[in-house]
Structure 1
């Protein structure tokens, strides 16, 4: 592991139950000397990624907040999706959540709240289980065979426990049904009393989803809701978000190419 990787891995040590760390904690976790741990921590403090508190412990610094703001304002999927999510929440009467798949992590990136009393266990930035709930299953259903095989090798037990299958063939067959439907409905999978209907999101012409939109419905209200209409609404909202995001991403790519050509011409002229 390189020094920069070890240094940045310190940020992964912070969590909700462990918001503060001492230099000694870092040394133990990284299995390094106290002076080395102190040097790593000092570099992160200088970069604004950590901040030192009066008691001597360290917590996440202001640069993290700035980076989160930049992420929220620069992500085209989020920029396009927010007004569509707000519209869907207003019309349906339910919360709408956007989730993104990053590497082998699934996190919620935005929630449009209609029911302020609905306390969800997971929120923006908190990693969610990869195989439980509507969001991950809607996303996984679009993954190519090779990627599903790699995931099955790594998470066979979790996949079986989620009901997606005890073998790779069963896993792929379960996801193929979801892919054909274009959505997935979960009932009390992630949280008791909470159901969700999710549909995949795309940012380019690839058939592999990068995220999902989900309607969050209290399970007790699900039996009284017009399920067909909810499914139609979430599929339409996800499709509209994907289409508009593709246009934005495509236009940015064209702008970048045009800019590159302009720079090249300018260099030749000099």
Structure 2
């Protein structure tokens, strides 16, 4: 009987840890110890112990704004899991069709703390490509996806991140002041997608649309890019409905249960 009681206690304790972790990932701003205790009906001292353990094991971390967020160990697990998801074949089919429709390379990137990481792409037939590989981090200040991601931050946090970015690259249209970057974030929020107008590389333009999870938080960015010798920005803008439709389909696939 004692054995059974101990087994139940262990299962209950493990489930509580998972519940706390899930609550943090689902809504970081609401993941204070007191709020977690109230919403999950877990004693406050227990929540503090679990948060301490999760932080020590790098499953959670503290963001610059003071919220609990996914830590480096959990982010690594999440990124690795994307390459083994049950719906990976469907995802690749959508990316291939989109690449053919746009006649350009298309890419998916996911947030990883204050970074954005490429996790999948489908190459077009064009010989000259942006030399960014799966697993690489995207610049948040000049790539379309990076700017789109920062547009979801609180403005103060977005500008603090922008200020910390150091780059030796000086593309023709690189945004260099916080005032200009804040205005750019306003435009992105208003239209719901982002463009890179030769801000990352001279001679290259790009576009990115968001994919949201079930609670409305950005979970991925779907993007494409082209050389200005092949497309004008107006031509890329005209393709946005195709990109947005693909993002909706990919969102349904990424969030689908097995």
TM-score range, shorter chain: 0.5 to 0.7
Q: Give the C-alpha shift of residue 118 in structure 1.
A: 2.4
Is the CA contact (8 Å cut-off) linking 1:142 and 1:209 kept in structure 2?
A: yes
Match for residue 236 of structure 2? 227
- Name the CA distance, whole Å, in 1 between partners of 2:220 and 2:98: 17
Match for residue 145 of structure 2? 135
Match for residue 85 of structure 2? 74
- Name the CA distance, whole Å, in 2 between partners of 1:224 and 1:184: 12
Match for residue 149 of structure 1? 156
Aligned mate of 1:88, from 89, 94, 98? 98
For 1:21-36, list aligned pairs within 5 A: none
174-183 vs 219-228, greater mean Cα deviation: 219-228
Is the CA contact (8 Å cut-off) linking 1:73 and 1:79 kept in structure 2?
A: no
- Name the CA distance, whole Å, in 2 between partners of 1:224 and 1:166: 24
Check 1:80–1:177 CA distance in 2 against 1; reply closer, same or farther (3 A cut): farther
Unmatched segments (≥5 aa) in structure 1: 9-66, 253-270
Is the CA contact (8 Å cut-off) linking 1:202 and 1:210 kept in structure 2?
A: yes
Match for residue 38 of structure 2? none
Match for residue 241 of structure 1? 250
Check 1:203–1:119 CA distance in 2 against 1; reply closer, same or farther (3 A cut): same
Give TM-score scaled by structure 2 length.
0.58
Is the CA contact (8 Å cut-off) linking 2:104 and 2:126 kept in structure 1?
A: no
Q: Give the C-alpha shift of residue 241 in structure 1.
A: 1.7
Give TM-score scaled by structure 1 length.
0.56
User: Pairwise CA RMSD of aligned residues?
Assistant: 3.7
Q: Give the C-alpha shift of residue 173 in structure 1.
A: 4.3
Check 1:192–1:224 CA distance in 2 against 1; reply closer, same or farther (3 A cut): closer
- Name the CA distance, whole Å, in 1 between partners of 2:181 and 2:166: 8
For 1:170-249, list aligned pairs within 5 A: 171-206=181-216, 208-223=217-232, 226-246=235-255, 248=256
Unmatched segments (≥5 aa) in structure 2: 1-54, 59-77
Match for residue 11 of structure 1? none
Is the CA contact (8 Å cut-off) linking 1:139 and 1:210 kept in structure 2?
A: no
Classify the secondary structure of the residue corresponding to 1:83. Answer: helix
Aligned mate of 2:130, from 85, 96, 120? 120
Is the CA contact (8 Å cut-off) linking 1:80 and 1:245 kept in structure 2?
A: no
- Name the CA distance, whole Å, in 2 between partners of 1:245 and 1:84: 12
Is the CA contact (8 Å cut-off) linking 1:195 and 1:219 kept in structure 2?
A: yes
Check 1:79–1:209 CA distance in 2 against 1; reply closer, same or farther (3 A cut): farther
Deviations 1:211-249 (A, max 9, x none): 211122111112297334311111221122223433x1x
- Structure with more helix by fraction: 1
Is the CA contact (8 Å cut-off) linking 1:194 and 1:219 kept in structure 2?
A: yes
Is the CA contact (8 Å cut-off) linking 1:187 and 1:219 kept in structure 2?
A: no
- Name the CA distance, whole Å, in 1 between partners of 2:215 and 2:166: 28
